[in-house]
Amino acid sequence: MSHTDPSGAVPASIDVPEAARWLAGRVLRTPVLRAPAIDRLAGARVLLKAENLQAGGSYKMRGGLFAVGRLAAAGHTGVVAQSTGNHAVAVALAARRFELAATVVLPVDAAPTKVARARAAGARVVLAGTTVEERLAVARRVSDETGHPIVDAYDHPDVIAGQGSASLELIEEAERAGTPLDALVLPVGGGGGVAGACLAATGRPIEVYGVEPHGCDSLARSLAAGRPVPVTPAPTIADGLRPSCVGELPFAVLRTRLRGVVRVDDDEIAEAFRLLLLELKVLAEPSGAAGLAGALRLAADGGLRSPAAADGALRSPAIDWGLRSPVGEQLLATAAGGPRKRTVGVVLTGGNVEAELVARLAASARLEEEVVAA
Amino acid sequence: MSHTDPSGAVPASIDVPEAARWLAGRVLRTPVLRAPAIDRLAGARVLLKAENLQAGGSYKMRGGLFAVGRLAAAGHTGVVAQSTGNHAVAVALAARRFELAATVVLPVDAAPTKVARARAAGARVVLAGTTVEERLAVARRVSDETGHPIVDAYDHPDVIAGQGSASLELIEEAERAGTPLDALVLPVGGGGGVAGACLAATGRPIEVYGVEPHGCDSLARSLAAGRPVPVTPAPTIADGLRPSCVGELPFAVLRTRLRGVVRVDDDEIAEAFRLLLLELKVLAEPSGAAGLAGALRLAADGGLRSPAAADGALRSPAIDWGLRSPVGEQLLATAAGGPRKRTVGVVLTGGNVEAELVARLAASARLEEEVVAA
């Protein structure tokens, strides 16, 4: 929280290109994947940045490693973190890499695989409450007792910059392939990843969208209110997207740079999960699949098909805020006189999911197939 | 069958580097992935070439595209293929790419997802019998009627060379990373892929192993007999590894170049499937996971841990043929006086699997976790 100044200006200290340079060779350069079936469903070229294949199983490794690495270089001997899971795993792994002590605070209902991964990395794991406030209170106490700084899961410039490096790699790879991104879609937890995406896209005509589960829409409400607004998160299979409030620093970035927020429900997230599993052949956790769910919702509402349709996105019931930077007019293709196929990037943010949930979601696909076949 | 000469010499026409050059830019350069949990289980550095992410969902795309592309260049207007699935899908997709007609013959019990993918690619799909002989008879009749050549699934030099390009990419990427392969492990159907791997490894001290399900061990029996020996394939979840006999051309390559055959059972394949899904975060079909199952079996028997232990591999009940090229002595590390960590490459050959089977295999993982926790 101390990282924002009262004016709400974005601190110059969030340096995505610097994070990307620092992380090169320290994290996996994850592949950008495509599946014809997903392109067809979206009516667009969909480039999927597979950060579920990242070390630690999520793109949180980037922010965690960059932040912890800088703290280690500054002489700290330990760190404290709290999260619903992936950030805690990332900080635990990063601390081990730099030989720092780590205490991570997870909710009592955290996914067991995330708890196990944090423990396996050698961190002290504290389970506390179910809300971010409860975890933060514990984290602050531990920080006071140990003198070790808290690495916030999203309200931290190095964490935002690190997460943004995934988007920057995707943006640059799309450019190298001759298909620069028109849009970039990420799921929203505390907003750090999507804020990093906005900063990664700086200076390029890329529309950045955030995706929130219905009832976990602190960002959409905050953007509408002009200030961070907490919510009581509704139940969702996307356990990583349930912080009760968007972070202040991400909000300061997003309020002037984000094009819109797309809301999705659990059925849409589950369908995106199955597409990724059976068509792209990768395992995303529901939170990690939510970006694709949002991109498909956007496409269904016409937001990805053509510049003209993109303007219609504002009228979509799924999008209740957006169009700060109407760049649609620039997107008309010269070829064939019609609108060219748009390219949308999606960051698959994580892949740490319980076997039981995989079985349940995959079994639903079979039921759907049977319904279709009947 | 016409591609082998009576002396059993390998035709110079199987040119893996040429296939790799031709395929560059035409197929996806799939990533090489690692998971710490898999390294720990193997006691080795395990580099997994994710050909399950390849276009068409398997590395069969490489051989199919290279062979069909050459036939198209030679003026053919159509092709015929038979397989248990992935080769048929690959030839169908390749034919569409080169605007050739395609007829593909699949078994009546083929995985529905493979039938659907072949049809979606625009091929005429014929379902015939359950054995390779039945399918071959139909394919030959179609070929006679149409004048279109058969692209054999493994007994074809361009198919072997194309499949081998996946191994060559893995070998070269491991060298670039400074961790050249000591061993390379692939599943065996008709033997084309593992023959391509042997040719890709030519001139390098890499031990190449094939993996067969128990009771689908035509290659192991053929190597012991010195000539191709058919089997009546036993039931296995690895539907792609059930040809009744290794191909003559692959056999001609393998009999002098393969280090050994590892037999695995369905439980081992299922465990490899789950490791790939939950630790590596990718979906392999059981046939595609069999290579990892074999590598882990080899490791459990000591074959991957050290040169000394590798010699013990011959005494493993899982390996009944091998050690044609003992290179273990060359592998001793100078550092620390002990044997250095070995690097084993595994090609994850495909990812086309039914949702129902995914659900069933993932649910088994949950049961195992519960047993462990109890």
Q: How far apart (Å, rounded) are the C-alpha atoms in residues A161 and A154?
A: 10
* Mutation target vs B (from A281, A283, A364, A366; most B CBs, 10 A cutoff): A281
Q: Does A370 score more than 60 pLDDT?
A: no
Q: Give the percent of chain B with pLDDT over 90.
A: 76
Complex-level ipTM: 0.86
Residue B366 in contact with partner chain A when CB distance is under 8 A: yes
Q: Does B166 score more than 70 pLDDT?
A: yes
- Does domain A16-58+157-321+332-363 fall under CATH 3.30.470.10? My reply is no
- Amino acid occupying residue B278: L
- List chain A domain ranges: 16-58+157-321+332-363, 60-146
Of A278, A351, A365, the CB nearest to B281: A351
Of B277, B281, B354, the CB nearest to A57: B281
**Containing H/E element for A174?**
helix A157-176
Write out the CATH class of domain B60-146.
alpha beta
Write out the CATH class of domain B16-58+157-322+340-363.
alpha beta
Same fold, A16-58+157-321+332-363 and A60-146: yes
Six-digit token string for B38: 């898999």
Instruction: Give me the pLDDT at residue B4, please.
Output: 44
- Is the CB of residue B101 less than 8 Å from the CB of residue B121? no
Average pLDDT over every residue of A332-352: 73
Chain B residues whose beta carbon lies within 8 Å of the beta carbon of residue A280:
53
Q: Does B359 score more than 80 pLDDT?
A: yes
Torsion angle of C-alpha atoms B307, B311, B315, B319, degrees rounded to 10 = 80
Chain A residues whose beta carbon lies within 8 Å of the beta carbon of residue B53:
31, 33, 280-282
Parallel, antiparallel or unpaired: strands A32-33 and A78-82: unpaired
Q: Which of residues 180-239 of A touch B (CB under 8 A)?
A: none
Q: How far apart (Å, rounded) are the C-alpha atoms in residues B27 and B54?
A: 7
3-class DSSP state for residue A10? Answer: coil
> Counting Cβ atoms within 10 Å, is residue A129 exposed (0-12), middle (13-18) or buried (19+)?
middle
What does the pLDDT look like over A21-78, one tens digit per residue?
999 999 999 999 999 999 999 999 999 999 999 998 999 999 999 999 999 999 999 9
Average pLDDT over every residue of A335-342: 59
Instruction: Give me the pLDDT at residue B1, please.
Output: 42
Distance from CA of A278 to the nearest CA of B (A): 7
Q: How far apart (Å, rounded) are the C-alpha atoms in residues B49 and B33?
A: 6
Chain A residues whose beta carbon lies within 8 Å of the beta carbon of residue B278:
113, 283, 353, 355, 358
Residue B136 in contact with partner chain A when CB distance is under 8 A: no
> Higher pLDDT residue, A143 or B335?
A143
**Paired residues of B208 in beta bridges:** B184
What does the pLDDT look like over A100-123, one tens digit per residue?
999 999 999 988 888 998 999 999
Distance from CA of B343 to the nearest CA of A (A): 18
Of B33, B53, B358, the CB nearest to A277: B358
Task: Provide the 10 A C-beta neighbour count for residue B300.
Answer: 16
The band of B99, judged by pLDDT with boundaries at 50, 70 and 90, is very high
Instruction: Give me the pLDDT at residue A6, please.
Output: 45
Instruction: Give me the pLDDT at residue A12, please.
Output: 66
Chain A residues whose beta carbon lies within 8 Å of the beta carbon of residue B33:
53
Average pLDDT over every residue of A311-326: 38
User: Whole-number mean pLDDT of chain B?
Assistant: 87
DSSP annotation of B6:
T
Q: Does B19 score more than 90 pLDDT?
A: yes
Of A30, A282, A355, the CB nearest to B362: A355
Q: Give the percent of chain A with pLDDT over 70.
A: 84
Q: Give the percent of chain A with pLDDT over 90.
A: 76
Q: Which of residues 107-126 of B touch A (CB under 8 A)?
A: 113
Six-digit token string for B83: 């397989």
Residue B58 in contact with partner chain A when CB distance is under 8 A: no
